Amino acid sequence: MRIDARAAFWAVFFVATVAAAAWAIGHFSGGYARFFALAARIGPEQWIALGAATLVFYALDYARLYTLLALLGVRVGPALGARLTCVTYFVSSLTPTAELNVPAMILMLRSRGVPASKTAAATLVKAIYMTVWLCVFGFAAIFVGGVGLPPAVAANLLPLIAPAAIIVAVFFYMMFAPRRVLELTDGWLARPALAGWRRSLAAGVNRCVAAIAEIGASRRLWHLASHASCIAFILVYALIGAMLCSALGIAMAPARALPVFSASLLVAYLAPVPGSIGVSEVLTSYFIDPAMTEEGMVAATLLRFICSYVLVAPGAIVLADEIRAVGWRALRDRSESA
C-alpha cells in the first residue's frame, strides 16, 4: 500500500472511530445534556484531588521511559520527559498499534544526541513491559477478580489477544535469546552488495536488538524501578477510576476498583481501533456495571479523558514544534556546510 493511501485509510478509520465513540458515549449516558449534568456533580475539591492523581499518573509514564533509557546510559530531564509524554499520547491515539510512537520518539531524541537504536529499544521495552503487567493484572481481574466480559468479547477472547501474545513472545525471544537475531543482522552486514538504506536498516536493527538484550540482562536498580513504575501506573489508574466513581455516587470498593480498572487499562492497550477510542469507554462502563448505567458511562469517559485525551492537543503542538525545529536545523546545517 502506498504511503499516501495508507495515510488516507488511517485518517478515515480515525474519523469513523471518533464518530462512533461520540454516538456511543451520548447514547449510553442518556444524551450529552445528561452527561454534563452528571459530570457537574464532581466538586472543585474532587477535581483538585483528581488533578493531583493524574499528574502522578503521567509522571509514572515518564518514569517508565526514564528508567529504561537510564539503563542505556541516557538521561532525560523532566521538561523533555513532559514533551515526550504528550507526544506519546498524541501519536498513540492515531492508530490501533501505536506504531508511530517509536519514530516520534526517535525524531525528538535524535536531535538531542540520543542514538535511534537506544530510543527504539527503550520505547519498545516500555510498551512491552507495560503490556505484560497489564496482562497479569487484567487477566487476573477477568479470571479471578470477577470482572465479566460482554458475551461477544468473551466468545472471541483468544483471537483478540493472540496478536499481543505473539508480539510479546517475539520480543522476549529477542531480549533473552538475541544471538540468532544478531547473527542474522551480522550476516546481512557482511554482504558486500548490501548498501544504502538496507545496510542502515540492518545496522539499526542490530543495534536495537543489542540494546534490548542489554536491558533484559541488566540487574541494576533502574530495571527493577521500570517494573515498579508499570505496577504503580496501573494502581494509580485504578485509584483515579475509583475516585471518579465515588464522585458520581457509584459504589466502588478498593478491592473491586483494582480488577475493574486493570481490565479497563488492558482494553485501552489492546483494543483494535485507534487509541481504543470508544471501545475503552463502553467496555469500562460495562466493567463498572453490566447494566450500563449513565453514571458508569460518564465515569468511564472522564477517566479516559483525563488519563489520555487531555494530552492529545498538547502532544500535537509539541510534535509540530519538533518537526519545525528539525526542519530548520537541517536547513541551517546544509547552509553552514555549503
Q: Which residue has the higher pLDDT, 66 or 215?
A: 66
**Residue 258 CA, distance from chain mean position:** 19
Per-residue confidence (pLDDT) for residue 227, from 0 to 100: 93
Give 161's DSSP letter: H
Q: How confident is the model at residue 250 (pLDDT cuts 50, 70, 90)?
A: very high
Res 194: pLDDT: 59
Rounded distance, CA 277 to CA 14, Å? 9
- Section 49-58 average pLDDT: 97
Closest to 139 in 3D by CA, of 151, 127, 154, 128: 154
The pLDDT value given to residue 70? 94
- At 72-127, the pLDDT tens digits run 999 999 999 999 999 999 999 888 777 788 889 999 998 889 998 899 889 988 98
Cα 202 to Cα 90: distance, rounded to the nearest angstrom? 29
Cα–Cα distance measured from residue 317 to residue 235, given in angstroms and rounded to the nearest whole number: 29
Helix axis angle, 196-217 to 44-71, nearest 10°: 110
Mean pLDDT score, 10-23: 87
Query: Which cell numbers in the block locate residue 118?
Result: 537506544
Determine the pLDDT at residue 240: 96
Mean pLDDT score, 17-28 = 91
- Provide the residue ranges of all domains of the chain, joining segments of one domain with +: 3-180+212-327
Closest by CA to 304, choosing from 118, 29, 25, is 25
pLDDT of the residue at 131? 87
Dist CA 92 CA 274 (whole Å): 8
Q: What percent of the chain has pLDDT over 70?
A: 87
Using alpha carbons only, give the angle 100, 59, 279 rounded to the nearest 5 degrees.
50
Q: Could you tell me if 248 and 295 are in contact, meaning their C-beta atoms sit under 8 angstroms apart?
A: yes
- Reported as half-sphere exposure (CB side, CA atoms, 13 A), residue 199 has a value of 8
Would you mind telling me the total number of residues written for the chain in this entry?
338
Contacts of 80 (CB under 8 A, 6+ apart): 108, 112
Asked whether the predicted pLDDT for residue 159 surpasses 50, the reply is yes
